[in-house]
Structure 1
Amino acid sequence: MAEDALKDWKIARTGISLLLNNKTEEAEALFIEHPHSFHVKAGRCFVLFMNALMTFEEDKFQQATLLLKDMERECAGDIGWLKSVKSKVFRAEETDKDYVNKLERQIVLADTQVFSAVSLFLQQELTGYVRGCWMLRKAWRVYQHAYNQISQLYRRTFGTNPTGFSPSCINPSNGSSLQSPQSPESSEWSIPSCNGYTNNVTPMSSPSGLRSSLSMFFSLTGITSEQQTPFVEPAEVTRLMSAASFGYGVYQLCVSLLPPSVLKVIHFFGFEGNRQSGLTALMYARLGEDMRAPLATLSLLWYHTIVRPFFALDGSNVKAGVAAAKQLVAECHAEFQNSALFLFFTGRMERLERNVDAALEAFGKAVEVATQREVKLLCLHEVAWCHVIRFSYDEAYRSLLQLQQQSRWSKGFYAYLAMVCCGANGKFDVLLSLYGKILPWFHETKNESQLDVFIMRRLPKIVDKETGHPYTVLYYKLLVYEALYLWNALPSCSTESLREISYECKENHSEEPMVGLTDLIEGAAYLYLEDTEAAIKSFRNCLKCRYPSKDEYDQHVSAFALYELGSSLSNNNNLNEGKNFLSKAQTQYKDYDFETRLNLRIHAALKNV
């Protein structure tokens, strides 16, 4: 391969490594020196999307979306149908550089669709889900097509199939026959194959009639599509396979984590996700030399330390992914030992293992060395949660107030959590002062996300509507415990803290903010104390006190109790009754707090029954 192209991807890889090692200025200087490099632009695009994903800030997502669209246009233009026609007419000889660049652009084209789809899914809106599914469908086809070309090249070069990554093993769902990228209706882009054939665009941009006429013209004039595939260096073949596996792995994880209601749309489009295939692809990608290798490692760390515990993919065992995450960090220690992001994931691992002091130390060090505002806020977010987990309400309040002032992501959430921490600490004057300051701002909230709806439903519970006075300390503690439970942070509490929670819940049911909340929290505490019988009893009591006359409001309490009871019974060798309660949790309630998250947990639990 030509030296300049080889240099470009290495420059992008170096720039990403500098960014991850807190050397933002050096990375920017390196990127600025190569403003027209495709690889550098793609690398910057990936990093910007990661920053948006970390902070959830709307302006970051808008910036990333614009850059993704620019990359899509550039890739689609470079590998388009018209360009392929020109090469046939003028018989342009394809060099190894042209060939590799064409494959690279196919991969980045699919990557942009996956990242754009993730942005849409995070909005948690129906129209966003449908658009995101369509983008994933397009990405799937391009990945499959690119992989087929690269795997042929790999077999020709090495005489064997690549190990550890095989997208072709993922078959369409429903027994449907997916159109190949060669069919006229298959994609919105035209994708030339390795031998010069062109995969068609939509009829809008290139009518199939015109394409057929041109094909006949080429045949009559003796212009053929066949071209000899140029020789590509073995190291470059391996890098291309690694590049293809990164986005494909993210794609597979993304699809496998969609809520059941969206999976129906996915199946309608004719494809599905395979989580294990996604993890295998990312493991392959992280071992390569491509610029995406460190991003593949970060994706795996994100999955094992955030996704798995947050969505309870392993039930109540939040430590299930820690061993894999530790191995990933250990293998990257030489290159990223002082990286703020890797310190962040180290803190996450410590928190999941209930080593909250060690987690605070890791997060604190990450804040000190971080040069990017996004990373600092990400770590401060975790610091605040660690203080809440330890019931250190003063420290939690200070951290949450700082986040409420500095973060552009859900200021209302940080304000709400800060207020209930004040109440749990008995500082009612501070609570009322903060409540008065932010109440007008709350009324301007647009209720666009599930989190916004959650906050607006909690706002009337902060103070007594009739008297304007605060409630009791235990009342606010229960709201803190509810937040810990809903964010699946209760398992990170110490044994002593869990016993304290169960004791407070058992002693007083008269001050609960929502009917049945005390029993739900008590049952969860018993569950993490490994007293399954006591947990089952509490969950049954929760449902008993809510049915049938008090189940109109705060229905998330009933839905989560059904899920917990069903999961506990299933794990306690009572499969039929457990499955019955899980099915009720899935179908009996709608539009409650964190419905999407719970449905993911129910779906995972039912698959294991």
Structure 2
Amino acid sequence: MAEDAMKDWKIARTGISLLLNNKTEEAETLFTEHPHSFHVKAGRCFVLFMNALMTFEEDKFQQATLLLKDMERECAGDIGWLKSVKSKVFRAEETDKDYVNKLERQIVLADTQVFSAVSLFLQQELTGYVRGCWMLRKAWRVYQHAYTQISQLYRRTFGTNPTGFSPCCINPSNGSSLQSPQSPESSEWSIPSCNGYTNNMTPVSSPSGLRSSLSMFFSLTGITSEQQTPFVEPSEVTRLMSAASFGYGVYQLCVSLLPPSVLKVIHFFGFEGNRQSGLAALMYARLGEDMRAPLATLSLLWYHTIVRPFFALDGSNVKAGVAAAKQLIAECHAEFQNSALFLFFAGRMERLETNVDAALEAFGKAVEVATQREVKLLCLHEVAWCHVIRLNYDEAYRSLLQLQQQSRWSKGFYAYLAMVCCGANGKFDVLLSLYGKILPWFHETKNESQLDVFIMRRLPKIVDKETGHPYTVLYYKLLVYESLYLWNALPSCSTESLREISHECKENHSEEPMVGLTDLIEGAACLYLGDTEAAIKSFRNCLKCRYPSKDEYDQHVSAFALYELGSSLNNNNNPNEGKNFLSKAQTQYKDYDFETRLNLRIHAALKNI
């Protein structure tokens, strides 16, 4: 076994554990002592990317992107085709350290592609989706290539396949010679087969004329790649399998969560994703000794407590992932009981169970122990939402204003939500003052994301354009309820709050900021209170008052009402009519607020019929 390599990955694992346990300075000191360690650099890269993914701050994504590109170049240079030519010509004997490092670099190379693709997908732009799909294709092929070699090594070592994880070996079906429309400079790397292992995988990139000529030369001169595979310690074989499982799991989850329109591009490139395979791979990875194990646990917690409820993958049942999250947190208690990030996820779990007091306690403790500004702001974001969920507009306003001043993520969103909370609390003077201060900043917004578009569409609704005066308290409450609904936070409201919302909607049809919004919110509140019949009636009323003359603006109201009506009918033993409304929601409207999110929900609902 290669002692240095073993030492390096253990150092990286220790550093990641220190970071997650709020010991940032100790981790940085440890990392600084090993500036040339491949594992340490990879570990730092992974942590920074996951930090960026959770905070959504642009500068963090930029730093992570630069590190990912550096890691990609290093991996591609270390395991590229030309380097394999040298070993063939000079017949360099490969040691166990060389062999393990080669496999490790293949895995990290694929990891960088997955993480870079996720960054592009979050931009929600067409060119980003295409480039991201191309990167995922490259990652898929490298993962399959690496997994084939590691699984053969695993079977040779243990005489069996690893339990709990067996990725679907689906070869890319087409496009082996496709060129990315905006391919990055690193698109030419390729992965040579490791010593003596033969497999039927499609090569990562099609061989050029030079490569074909050299291959013919090698065959004529008797130079081949057939060498005896070095012995690898069983513990290292298990670790490599765990390492491959992490990125593969993230990859599968990423592909499975893409919008249906993007999945067409995915299928064109010749690969697909399987959510259950991704979860199984991450579960396998988290039980290993590799440095990625705690990151695999964080990925699973992120999926169960954020992704599942946010995208409504389980419909209105936002508690669907709570049991899995509880088990994950319990199993990590010994090592990460005081970790700010794990406390954050514990708070998310409590919030989903409508235990808002317990959630606030967890987030408060996380803020106290956190040493990273980003983690503190992440928890403050959740604290603000907890106050909104409780309809505590005064506390919500204070938290949102603090976020608007300190956070680098979507200041416009925090400002908007702070203003409508002021209006819902009857503090119109504060609302007008804040509106006047930030109005010039709003006009500079570039409308780059769906959230930016959402905010700019709400801006004209904050005050009366003709008089410059604010609207009524009930008007602003409806805008708060709309945000709770669109962020799928309404199910986390208490029964008392849901009844209050339902009652106010019944009394407020004349003051709604958008036609049909009152019925949509009332229907959602009834649904979460368990009154499906009343919910269906409200959703039908919403569509009646919008069709046909008032459906030109705020079309998200109609689209979401169709989705809710279709889902409710399906759950109420009327699948045919339900499917009809879901299909209308999918095809009848375009370019409305949160179209991508709703399409994911519709796609999931149609699959369940």
Structure 2 length normalisation: TM-score? 0.97
Pairwise CA distance, 1:99: 0.1
Closer/same/farther in 2, CA of residues 238 and 183 from structure 1, 3 Å limit: farther
Deviation by residue 1:147-195 (Cα, 9 ceiling, x = unmatched): 0000000000000011121224456589999999999999732212222
Instruction: Give the secondary-structure state (helix, strand or coil) at the position aligned to 1:100.
Output: helix
* 8 Å CA contact 2:145, 2:201 repeated in 1: no
- Per-residue CA distance 1:562-589 (angstroms, 9 max, x = gap): 0000000001110000000000000000
2:192 aligned residue: 192
- CA apart distance, 1:375: 0.5
> For the residues of structure 2 that align with 1:176 and 1:516, how far apart are their CA atoms?
50
Are the aligned partners of 1:81 and 1:199 in contact in 2 as well (CA < 8 Å)? Answer: no
Q: How much does 1:297 deviate?
A: 0.1
Q: 1:185 to 1:195 in 2, by over 3 A?
A: farther
* Contact persistence 2:49–2:61 (CA under 8 A): yes
Kindly tell me: are residues 88 and 197 of structure 1, through their superposed partners in 2, closer, same or farther at Cα, counting changes over 3 Å?
Answer: farther
User: Do 1:182 and 1:198's aligned partners in 2 also have CA atoms closer than 8 Å?
Assistant: no
Segments of structure 1 that go 5 or more residues without pairing to the other structure are none
Counterpart-to-counterpart distance in 2, 1:200 and 1:208: 19
What is the alpha-carbon root mean square deviation over aligned residues? 2.9
CA distance in 1, matches of 2:182, 2:221: 23
Spell out, residue by residue over 1:367-406, the C-alpha distance to the aligned partner (whole angstroms, 9 max, x if none): 0000011100100000000000001111100100000000
Q: 1:373 to 1:184 in 2, by over 3 A?
A: closer
**Shift of residue 340, structure 1, vs aligned partner:** 0.2
Contact 1:177 1:270 in 2 (8 A): no
Cα offset for 1:198? Answer: 10
Task: Give the CA deviation at 1:312.
Answer: 0.3
Q: In 2, are the aligned partners of 1:153 and 1:237 still within 8 Å (CA)?
A: yes
Aligned pair in 2 of structure 1 residues 174, 277: CA closer, same or farther (>3 Å)?
A: farther
Structure 2 CA distance for aligned equivalents of residues 116 and 201 of structure 1: 24
**Which is worse superposed, 487-496 or 222-231?**
222-231
Provide the residue aligned with 1:358 in structure 2: 358
Q: How far, CA to CA, are the matches of 2:240 and 2:41 in structure 1?
A: 17
* Whole-Å separation in 2 of the counterparts to 1:487 and 1:236: 44
Distance verdict in 2 for CA 1:523–1:175, change over 3 Å: farther
* Corresponding position of 1:219: 219
SS in 2 for 1:167: coil
**Higher alpha-carbon deviation: 159-168 or 237-246:** 159-168
Answer yes or no: is the 8 Å Cα contact 2:190–2:205 preserved in 1: no
- More displaced stretch, 505-514 vs 178-187: 178-187
- Give CA deviations for 1:267-295 in whole Å, capped at 9, x if unaligned: 11111100000000000000000000000
Change (3 A) 1:331 1:251: same
- Between the aligned partners of 1:519 and 1:578, the Cα distance in structure 2 is 18
Following superposition, the deviation at residue 220 of structure 1 comes to 2.1
Change (3 A) 1:290 1:444: same
Q: Once the 2 structures are TM-superposed, how far is the Cα of residue 2 of structure 1 from its aligned partner? A: 1.5
Long gaps (5+) in structure 2: none
Q: Is the 8 A contact 1:249 1:280 kept in 2?
A: yes
Whole-angstrom CA distance in 2 between matches of 1:481 and 1:18:
40
Once residues 201 and 499 of structure 1 are traced to their aligned partners in structure 2, the CA distance between those partners, rounded to angstroms, is: 58
Q: Is the 8 A contact 1:189 1:202 kept in 2?
A: no
Contact kept in structure 1, 2:142 and 2:204, CA below 8 Å: no
Alignment partners' CA distance in 2, 1:146 and 1:261: 30
Residue identity over aligned pairs, in percent, reads 97
Cα deviation, 1:50-84, whole Å, max 9, x if unaligned, reads 11111111111111001000000000000011110
> Cα 1:55–1:184, aligned 2, differ >3 Å: closer, same or farther?
closer
Q: What is the rounded CA distance, in whole Å, between the counterparts of 2:247 and 2:190 in structure 1? A: 20
Superposition deviation, residue 202 in structure 1: 13
Contact 2:190 2:204 in 1 (8 A): no
Q: Is the 8 A contact 1:84 1:198 kept in 2?
A: no
CA distance in 2, matches of 1:55, 1:118: 14
Q: 1:169 is paired with a residue of what secondary structure? A: coil
Q: How many residues align?
A: 609
CA distance in 2, matches of 1:278, 1:459: 40
- Between the aligned partners of 2:494 and 2:558, the Cα distance in structure 1 is 26
Conserved 8 A contact 2:491-2:528: yes
Q: Distance in 2 between matches of 1:89 and 1:286?
A: 40
Shift in Å at residue 508 of structure 1? 2.0
Indicate if the aligned counterparts of 2:586 and 2:602 stay in contact, CA closer than 8 A: yes
Deviation at 1:507, TM superposition (A): 1.5
